[in-house]
Structure 1
Amino acid sequence: MTLVHWTPWQEIDTIERRLNRLFDQDISPSLRGFSVPAAEFSQDEEAVYLNLEAPGIDINDLDIQVTEKAVSISGERKSETSSETQGKIRSEFNYGKFQRVVPLPARVDNTQVKAEYKDGIVHLTLPKAEAEKNKVVKVEIASTTA
């Protein structure tokens, strides 16, 4: 049996070169897909507040639908056409259609939703349904008699 000298740094360099070659190749937008918007929740006794990231998306390309239990957001980030005379264009942007359904932590009154789009973030204010605001549950205590 022959002993081989192992050099871990050489292997890491090889992996780094392979990754660099991978990222230097053109990746088709259809292979990359589009990631769904990230969501952020907060709530108080009156409402649920939902923020959705939608940078670079025109407000007219967004469709937001709200039920009592969930928010559905769909849209499309369209690529801008540009021409490059000296060769390839490298882009890490994702283009395409997306859809996400976000379940809500409480029932909301979906007829009173307010939405604002500012700096690439969709801010939704979803007032809680009256039944959720005044929800009080009486707990029955079972007695044990011996």
Structure 2
Amino acid sequence: MRVNDLIPWKASRGYQPTVHDERDPVAALQNNVNRAFDDFLRMFNVPFSGLPASFLDSDSGIHVDVAETDKEVKVSAELPGFDEADIDVKVSDGTMIISGEKKTDRDVDENGYTLRERSFGRVERALPLPDGIDADAATASFKSGVLTVTIPKKAEAQSGSKRIPVQSN
């Protein structure tokens, strides 16, 4: 087999991409490996184990990093191409919802040609939050396409343990 035979578009085939046959052993192997990894990784839902699959969705279009310390929870979300006016952050019932909506209109008239482009996009991601956070004291900043939300923990949650007074009867 020559290297040119591996190119999916060739003049002899009329620039048509190659079609993967169901009997193709390489494609079948790739599908089986992908399925095995997906099944294996589904067993480890840490740190959000026991939550609905919608919380674990990475196909939402928003990639996030969540870091928790004794004093705060920090969420960094990648939102390239968005402006701070396009982004909405809400905390409700122990869940943070980050959403963004972008609309673009472009009209260009040059040399007798007119170019009109319109695009619209919406992304949303829901993240469960731990108990004991102070949502009223949360802050958010947006710089270079990265949204950073910092939510401090309440004083009783920061200590890690709660003292329970013992009373005599």
TM bin, normalised by shorter chain, reads: 0.5 to 0.7
RMSD: 3.4
Cα displacement (A) at 1:132: 2.2
5+ residue gaps, structure 1, are 1-6, 20-33, 139-146
* Equivalent residue runs for 1:15-54 within 5 Å: 36-54=61-79
How far apart, CA to CA, are the structure 2 residues paired with 1:15 and 1:107? Answer: 58
Contact 1:49 1:123 in 2 (8 A): yes
User: What is residue 134 of structure 1 aligned with on the other side?
Assistant: 159
User: What is residue 81 of structure 1 aligned with on the other side?
Assistant: 106
Q: Does 1:12 align with 2:2?
A: no
Q: Decide which of 114, 129, 146 is 1:104's aligned counterpart.
A: 129
How far apart, CA to CA, are the structure 1 residues paired with 2:16 and 2:156? Answer: 58
Larger RCO (CA within 8 A; separation ≥ 6): 1
Q: Which amino acid aligns with 2:76?
A: N
Q: Which amino acid aligns with 1:58?
A: D
Q: Does 1:122 align with 2:116?
A: no
Q: Which amino acid aligns with 2:8?
A: T
5+ residue gaps, structure 2, are 18-58, 164-169
Cα displacement (A) at 1:114: 0.6
Equivalenced residue count is 115
Compute the TM-score of the two structures, normalised by the length of structure 1. 0.61
CA pair 35-15 structure 1, distance change in 2 beyond 3 A = farther
Cα displacement (A) at 1:35: 5.0
How far apart, CA to CA, are the structure 1 residues paired with 2:115 and 2:150? Answer: 44
Compute the TM-score of the two structures, normalised by the length of structure 2. 0.54
